Amino acid sequence: MKFPDISGENLEKKKYNIPYDLEGELNIVIVPFQRWHQSLVDEWSAFLNNIERSNRNFRYYEVPTLNSGYKIMRFMIDGGMRAGIPDRSVRERTITLYTNKPLFEEQLNINSEDTIYLFLIRRNGEILWRSEGEYDIQKGEELLKIIEKINA
């Protein structure tokens, strides 16, 4: 399965063509759909920061996903997120997508917007691992094993 080719812009206004412009050889893309998902993203971010520090070829991104109809409000939506995130490195890793959500969800086999989804992908879009929901030790260990196997 491949991650769809999709364009977005980070909160520092840099354009990205996902997955090709992501900076790691291996990248986690976290896809939240609702504002309250931020607490789930933050749980994962603490864990993923440690992986990123110890693996030069690994990066992770938060990719909030909204319907394309909201694109006309991008200035306000992205501006509000930008203002609420004082850490530049977090703004740089946050890439907002304004897209056809039903199609995007179908391409990734996402059948609910009630939680977040995580995808470990190569720069060519190959999905190596996926998970959903809150961080727990078992999911974290599973991800680490896959990364270690790839890096071996």
Question: Which domains can be identified in the chain, with CATH numbers?
Answer: 6-151 (3.40.30.10)
Flag whether pLDDT at 81 surpasses 80. Answer: no
Beta-bridge partners for 98 = 66
The CA-atom distances, in angstroms, between 77 and each of 81, 97, 119 are 6, 11, 24
CB-count exposure of residue 36 (10 Å: 0-12, 13-18, 19+): exposed
CB-count exposure of residue 51 (10 Å: 0-12, 13-18, 19+): middle
Which percentage of the chain shows pLDDT scores above 70? Answer: 90
Spatial distance between the Cα atoms of 66 and 70, rounded to a whole number of angstroms? 7
Query: What pLDDT was estimated at residue 82?
Result: 65
Query: What pLDDT was estimated at residue 70?
Result: 67
The CA-atom distances, in angstroms, between 16 and each of 63, 129, 140 are 11, 22, 27
Mean pLDDT of 42-48: 94
Q: Is the pTM value of this prediction over 0.95?
A: no
Among 30-39, 86-95, 135-144, the least confident range: 86-95
